[in-house]
Structure 1
Amino acid sequence: MSTLLQVVEACGIIAFACSGFVEARRKDMDLVGVFIVAFVTAFGGGTLRDMLLDRRPLFWVEHQEYAILVFVLALLAGPFLPHLRSAVAEKTIVVADALGLGLFSAVGTSLALEAQMPVFICVMMGVTTGIFGGVLRDVLCNEIPMVFRREQLYATCSLLGCAVYMVLEWLDMTSAVALISSILVTSVLRLLAVKMNWRLPG
């Protein structure tokens, strides 16, 4: 399970970093700005999770290859980002953000469960891990964070995906099944919410 978690975490880093690349470029930032926004997006949620769970060293400090990966991706993506059309950039952010949300929410829930946190705290830790990187990205790019806008469901998708993880664990499913199911539920719900314009009432 440890290896699977690392693979999922790495995929989440790539997904959120991509959303950071595109959003920073839309704001006409230079390469340094693009890297910083991608770095904060990729590692913000996991850093807050590790601090709340008192996990040391922080996950990206323990695995420096994660930070190196984001740096290399920023260098490789730099020449291509200016050529992204606005519509393509918007879709890229939505898809990458949905994947990152699902991947990090599931990992956060799993690590909280591993730390023997109560059920509700495990779910909330997953949601926090999933949404916080995107919040920091939007703040740095001078946008109202996606999770705070009266738009399509966002944090709710993470909440439901994390709840699915806990239910499957309660049903004695394997941790791998719970992890993958949680990722799929969160990511698919988020993409459907954007496509079908699902919103909370009020």
Structure 2
Amino acid sequence: MIEHPGLMLALSIAERLAIFAYAISGFIEARRRRLDPVGTFLVAMATAFGGGTVRDVLLERRPFYWVEHQNYALAIFVLSFFAPVVLKWTSRVLSDRALLVADAIGLGLFSISGTSLAMSAQMPWFTSVIMGVATGVFGGILRDVLCNEVPLILRDSRPYATCAFAGCGLYLLLAQTPLDAVYNVLLSTTFILLARLLTYRFDVRLPH
């Protein structure tokens, strides 16, 4: 896959937004669990960087993203001391909705970013899709495990990883068309975001 500056910029922005979105979901979950600032920091860090770290390990990319860009880790560290104070005024219902939206945004952004990086590393198409899904879901898995919950991907029959899989597949299909790569990132990410929110809103469930 041939990269161009616009695509690399789009992926860079997507990764930053995904980190921000997943960090927020980590803050919200930590608040619900009444964790102290240290616990809040650990949960937010694991949520924000867990999927990207797994991706970097599998693709043998060094240094890890959070090591190379320590300012993001530092920002999460500082915010961990203020997040509980800000979030304590939020009702439980709003927290649930905010967690859902933040999680869906992070899922879409991280999944497409992971797939694109895997393709750039000359991975086969199916491996690239799985790499994207792993990048998208693993942060949420770590968040739930640290908060002593069964991971959402295992306890909720509404499509989650399935949305990421479909969106990553769409990304690879659109990559074979004349569509500009930047628009491909935007469309595929939006597809995952909307698919997750709509299936949740209308209570679409996978057979089990």
What TM-score bracket applies, with the shorter chain setting the length?
over 0.9
Does 2:140 correspond to 1:134? Answer: yes
Closer/same/farther in 2, CA of residues 194 and 108 from structure 1, 3 Å limit: same
For each residue in 1:111-166, what CA deviation from the matched residue of structure 2 results, as whole angstroms up to 9, or x when unmatched?
Answer: 00111110001100000000000000000001110111143110000001101100
1:106 is paired with a residue whose SS is: helix
2:133 is paired with a residue whose SS is: helix
Using the TM superposition, give the Cα deviation of residue 75 of structure 1 relative to its aligned residue in structure 2, in angstroms: 3.2
Paired AA for residue 36 in structure 1: L
Aligned match of 1:67 in 52, 73, 92?
73
Aligned match of 1:114 in 100, 120, 128?
120
Aligned match of 1:192 in 198, 201, 204?
198
Q: Which structure 1 segments of 5+ residues have no match?
A: none
Give the aligned partner of residue 37 of structure 1.
43
Question: What number of residue pairs does the alignment pair up?
Answer: 202
Using the TM superposition, give the Cα deviation of residue 17 of structure 1 relative to its aligned residue in structure 2, in angstroms: 0.4
Aligned partners of 2:174 and 2:184 also within 8 Å = yes
Instruction: Tell me which stretches of 4 or more aligned residues in structure 1 moved more than 3 Å.
Output: none
For each residue in 1:90-117, what CA deviation from the matched residue of structure 2 results, as whole angstroms up to 9, or x when unmatched?
Answer: 0110000000000100100110011111
Q: Distance in 1 between matches of 2:29 and 2:95?
A: 8
Give the aligned partner of residue 129 of structure 2.
123
For each residue in 1:172-198, what CA deviation from the matched residue of structure 2 results, as whole angstroms up to 9, or x when unmatched?
Answer: 422212211111011110000110111
Aligned partners of 2:160 and 2:196 also within 8 Å = yes
Does 2:29 correspond to 1:20? Answer: no
Paired AA for residue 40 in structure 1: A
- Counterparts of 1:159-198 in structure 2 under 5 Å? 159-198=165-204
Q: Which structure 2 segments of 5+ residues have no match?
A: 1-6
Does 2:150 correspond to 1:144? Answer: yes
Using the TM superposition, give the Cα deviation of residue 53 of structure 1 relative to its aligned residue in structure 2, in angstroms: 0.3
Does 2:83 correspond to 1:77? Answer: yes
Q: Distance in 2 between matches of 1:65 and 1:117?
A: 30
Does 2:103 correspond to 1:93? Answer: no
State, as a whole percentage, how many aligned pairs show the same letter: 49
For each residue in 1:20-48, what CA deviation from the matched residue of structure 2 results, as whole angstroms up to 9, or x when unmatched?
Answer: 00101101101111111000000000000
Aligned match of 2:110 in 90, 101, 104?
104
